[in-house]
Amino acid sequence: MPDKTKTQKTQKRGSREDKTKTISKRKTIEEITEEQVNINATIPEYYIVNRPGNASVIMNIRENQGVYTNASLMIWMDNALSVSTASRGLLAGIKRALFTADSFFLTTYTGTSSEGNKICFASPVPGDITELRIEPGKKKLVVSGAVICCSQNVILSTKLKFRNIFVNNGAFLSEVSVPADSTSYGMVWIGAYGGIEKIDIKENQMMKIDNGHFLMCDSDAKYTLGTVGGVKSTLFSGEGLVLNFKGPCSVYTQNRNLRVFSHLINKYLPKQMSMGNIG
């Protein structure tokens, strides 16, 4: 007959060991969570509202936190926020202003309260907004004019690549990156014209993306310029050129094309009021 007293002691010892393991595991999780809080301390709390058709992003920027943004994208803000404006580099500002829809001057909003100060941003075109996390040393290419705002450790620059020359009828794209020596990841908020779709392309898989619907991708994504079909389809289908992406990579698209929409509107406007002549 088994010794009940010995069995009970063994069970109690096992219970204590399990409890010790659980406590140890819980401490480890707490430590990881604390590390994550420290790493993410520069990123403001935020939430995106009114999506997907008319999205805007509301942030609560605490003391020592800040974001910078392109011109004319702030909707409303707490009066206590600190505001400063700079080009973040003369040459970089000139390149942005001349070759992309990004602005020469970038405005930085910094929190002044430990409780946080609220602010709201939106894209100039109706559509969705998504957050884009960028790890240290990584870069993303974004269609011109889609960057709404960035965390302080993100670098916004302009890139010319001949393979991109027909992307949205522009030779230049915005590039967002985080320096390799940064202690934390960066965050960028991207505004699309219409809805946003992420397309994951498998290894060696080819995917055609209409150039006017391209939103963003990794800077090292492999793609070439191409057409939907033959010469006849290229000339008469209205599709024009596409980007042939080769996996593995992820590409974000926007389901509306601003250039196509502006041409459509121009058909219904008097010549002196056409969108091409406005401004």
Three-class DSSP labels, the chain? CCCHHHHHHHHHHHHHHHHHHHHHHHHHHHHHHHHHHHHCCCCCEEEEECCCCCCEEEEEECECCEEEECCCCEEEECCCCEEEEECCCHHHHHHHHHHCCCCCCEEEEEECCCCCEEEEEECCCCECEEEEEECCCCEEEECCCCEEEEECCCEEEEEECHHHCCECCECEEEEEECCCCCCCCEEEEEECCECEEEEEECCCCEEEEEHHHEEEEECCCEEEEEECCCHHHHHHCCCCEEEEEECCEEEEEECCCHHHHHHHHHHHCCHHHCCCCCC
| Structural domain count of the chain | 1
| 175: in domain | yes
The whole domain housing 96 covers 45-271
Q: CATH number for the domain including 212?
A: 3.60.160.10
| 109: in domain | yes
| 13: in domain | no
| 73: in domain | yes
| 16: in domain | no
Those residues of the chain that have pLDDT short of 50 are 7, 9-39, 96, 98-99, 104, 162, 164-165, 168-169, 278-279
| 277: in domain | no
List, for residues 129-152, the tens digit of each pLDDT value: 999 999 999 999 998 889 999 999
What predicted TM-score, i.e. pTM, was given to this entire model?
0.73
List, for residues 182-233, the tens digit of each pLDDT value: 888 999 999 999 999 999 999 999 999 988 899 999 988 988 877 775 555 5
| 85: in domain | yes
